[in-house]
Amino acid sequence: MSTASDHTCRNCGATTTGNYCHMCGQETHLHGPSFGEFLHEFVGHYVALEQRLRGTLMRLLFRPGLLTNEYLAGRRRRYVEPLRLYLSLSIIFFAVLKFSETDIVTADPQPAAPQVAVHPAAPPAAPPAQQGELFEQMLAREAPAIFLPFDRFFNKMTDAEKSAVIQAGFYKYAPYAMFLLMPVFALWLKLLYAGAGRTYGEHLLFALHTNAFAFIMLGVFMFLPQGFLKFLAFCWVGGYLPWAMKRVYQKSRWGTLWRWLLLAVLHGVSLAAAVLGVFVAGIMSAH
């Protein structure tokens, strides 16, 4: 039996005309609590989420740039929100990386040099420059405040202790560093496409989607065996970003190519700075 209350949302009190309140989104036809009702809510929620997730991932993985265009066109409810997608894939990636016990950096001791007979007239070969020594020299010159605890604390560790400190620092700080790279990545895009009429938020949206794709592919590379499939995946990753840029920003092939190359250099510098920051922060936090 229909009553006046059937047309009033019991959650916010707004007058309704359909199955959902136009103000708060709650269903207008409610049933008493029962096992069947709870089961319906549970299944309905995850079926809807599964459909949104499937459509999101298919476009993200196989249609470069399309997910960004769909969001900008206003078709948003059918896909997972960009920030939630990025954060979810980031958490999953670092969790899989950690529980797979992948060695990020291993400070193995240098193997003993083989005994080789040297002709008396030949001068002894000079040992190659160690990357660690170059890093220490640069750190002492550019950041002495950081170098002092590094020299007093880190260099006195065993190789196993150094690896443990680096691993712990990576898992502690790398997710934050990767997240902070998003606005930097968007800033590079803003500069490269200056005058294109794009807002900073649109560039940030593109950054979230392309880096969410990167997390998926990094996870794929972890489990793909060496061979043709891994080669195909590598080729797809290499061509994904310029294809996405071409679809979203609608520039010519040459205009997209030079921007992609310059973006790769700029982002590479940002990524190197982030890796160095994670490394130093890990050592400083262990001190």
Label each residue of 238-282 as H, E or C.
Answer: HHHHHHHHHHHHCCCHHHHHHHHHHHHHHHHHHHHHHHHHHHHHH
The label of the residue with tokens 């797809």 reads 236
- pTM reported for the whole predicted model: 0.72
- Domain match, 224 and 86 both: yes
Instruction: Write out pLDDT tens, residues 107-122.
Output: 544 444 444 444 444 4
pLDDT beyond 50 at 1: no
pLDDT beyond 70 at 4: no
- Domain match, 168 and 227 both: yes
Look at the chain and report how many structural domains it folds into.
2
Give me the domain span that covers residue 268: 81-105+139-286
166 found inside a domain: yes
Residue 86 vs residue 113, higher pLDDT: 86
Q: Which of 132, 107, 114, 52 is nearest to 85 (CA)?
A: 52
The label of the residue with tokens 């190359």 reads 261
DSSP strands (E only) in the chain? none
Least confident piece of the model among 27-41, 44-58, 172-186, 238-252: 27-41
- Domain match, 169 and 252 both: yes
- Domain match, 158 and 99 both: yes
Average pLDDT over residues 149-160: 64
147 neighbors 136 (Cβ within 8 angstroms):
yes
pLDDT beyond 80 at 151: no
Least confident piece of the model among 39-43, 73-77, 98-102: 39-43
- Domain match, 26 and 89 both: no
213 found inside a domain: yes
152 neighbors 93 (Cβ within 8 angstroms):
no
Please give the structure tokens belonging to residue 234: 């590598």
- pLDDT on residue 71: 93
Instruction: Write out pLDDT tens, residues 227-285.
Output: 899 899 999 999 999 999 999 999 999 999 999 999 999 999 998 888 878 877 776 76
124 found inside a domain: no
